[in-house]
Amino acid sequence: MKVERYVSKRTLWIIALIFAVLSIVALYFGTFYRFVLKEKYKDYKICKATVISLEEYEYEDSDDNTYYHYSAELEYQIDGVSYSQVTDDIFSVDNVPDKGERIKICYQKENPNEYFVAKYDWMTRSYLPLDNRGDDILFTAIIFISFVLIIVPMALDTDQVQGVLLGSGFLLMGLDGIVMGFLCKNFGMFFLIIFGIVGAIILYRYLFIPKERRIKEDEASEYLRLFKVVDIYQDFQTNIRTVVFSLPENNGSTQGLYSYDDNNNYFGYGDMYQIDKRVLQNFQETRIVNGSYTININGINGSDIQPLNPIVRKMFSLTGIDRTS
């Protein structure tokens, strides 16, 4: 794997170390601290409280987006004695109860005024405070671990290790989105599946494809460039149809325009192909097509203009026209 470093190895190791430390801290609060809370509240009893009223609180974030939290007045009875409590604004739009709804709380047997609104925790198999963000913190911890696995390969020089670590980082990120999306009932996390797919492809490449084959593929792909039809000119006097290709370099700048007389009407405007840029070095003659200076590539072997990889074509295509198959 060829890695272009824009920062020093030392900087990369420092960044990886920072994420590693953050991962450890987040893992503690996302896992072990939940068991600390379980032990703390092990003698609390569970009952149901009635929501008497709700109060809404409006907040704005740094981007001026408005969101709402809610507090609730609760009423519950323990051994024939009624208790009335007002919660903090621990409820969000997603979990705010209705007025009159009965919700679970946990209270201290010796002092029923000591209580918390409860939710079942899958990890500890116990009831913990509703405002415990263990799942969200665990999700973040796994993302940080993924960052470590993605950053470390940039500081290494061993091809196989780079690929396996990088693939593992992306795959872990995708699995994190799936599992935690289900657990947190936040299906927006599922977008991370894309990274998981990329990670699986990378892992497959570095675990099951021989190194010699990978090197050959990398050498070939290093010279492949997107070859896109950006103009078509029809000369009605000669009835010659000329297409103009653009060849952008990896940095996005356009290296040049290339023209080809398409007598078979094979190419369409917006079609995208790939070409080994070394093939184009054999052509030097220039000509003006529709007001633009181009390099004439008539005589090129048609097989040199290759259909674009279907996945890449889908990513780049803006026209919906597909004549590359």
pLDDT, tens digit, 9 for 90 and up, residues 92-146: 998 999 999 999 999 999 999 999 999 999 999 999 999 999 999 999 999 999 9
Q: What does the pLDDT average to over 174-195?
A: 85
Per the model's pLDDT, the better-predicted residue between 119 and 217 turns out to be 119
* Residue environment code for 15-37, b if the CB has 16+ CB neighbours within 10 A, otherwise e: bbeebbebbeebbebbeeebeeb
CATH class of 221-316: mainly beta
Nearest residue to 47 via CA among 115, 129, 133: 115
Q: Cβ distance 89 to 57 under 8 Å?
A: yes
Per the model's pLDDT, the better-predicted residue between 156 and 171 turns out to be 171
Q: What does the pLDDT average to over 138-163?
A: 91
Domain boundaries, the chain: 9-28+135-209, 39-133, 221-316
Per the model's pLDDT, the better-predicted residue between 19 and 301 turns out to be 19
Question: CA-CA distance, 132 to 166, in Å (whole number)?
Answer: 32
Q: What does the pLDDT average to over 239-245?
A: 92
As given in the structure block, the two tokens for residue 58 are 């409006």
Task: Give the model's pLDDT for residue 325.
Answer: 36
pTM of the model: 0.66
Per the model's pLDDT, the better-predicted residue between 322 and 62 turns out to be 62
